[in-house]
Amino acid sequence: MAKLRAIVQTLRIVRPKAQLVAAVAVRESDAVGVEFLLVRTSSGQRWTLPKGHRDPGETLADAAAREAAEEAGVAGTVEPQPFAHYRYPAAGGGWNDVAAFRLHVECEGLPAEAGRDPQWLGLEMARSRLAAGRERGYGEEMERLLMAAQARSAR
């Protein structure tokens, strides 16, 4: 019984992880079909989806829309529920869970964070850039995510 109380006490003091969200911006292209909007990471060394933490009082969908505007300079309609979740490497090791929201882009060219270099890419190029220089298995995680987003476009 004492061991159970200790476990319960430990669970009470553990803080929940911050909630991360990603905006998976998509558009149709005559040349390649569905395209995805990627941005450079804040260090500029890799490619990523616009993503970040939810601010207090903000819904997850609103956070995804804000991240897309801040990092990629795009705005539009975000689906109210995440279409997928994926794992993203945490800074201190391990993985964070990211809720992915589809963004139907309606406006481009808004001011974006410097150095983000937003680019629209087809499925294979987007998957390749997202996987480059990442931990093992991350490329497969990104491919799964992009394929799920693409499948929703076909509906």
Whether the model clears a pTM of 0.85, i.e. scores above it, the answer is: no
Assess if residue 9 is contained within a domain: no
d(CA 9, CA 3): 10
pLDDT digits (tens, 9 = 90+) for 104-118: 999 999 999 999 999
The CATH number of residue 82's host domain is 3.90.79.10
pLDDT digits (tens, 9 = 90+) for 83-102: 999 888 777 877 889 999 99
What's the average pLDDT block by block, 10 residues per block, for the chain (155 residues)? 53 52 91 90 92 94 97 96 88 86 94 95 94 85 91 71
Assess if residue 91 is contained within a domain: yes
The total number of structural domains in the chain stands at 1
Assess if residue 15 is contained within a domain: no
Nearest to 115 by CA among 54, 53, 76, 73: 73
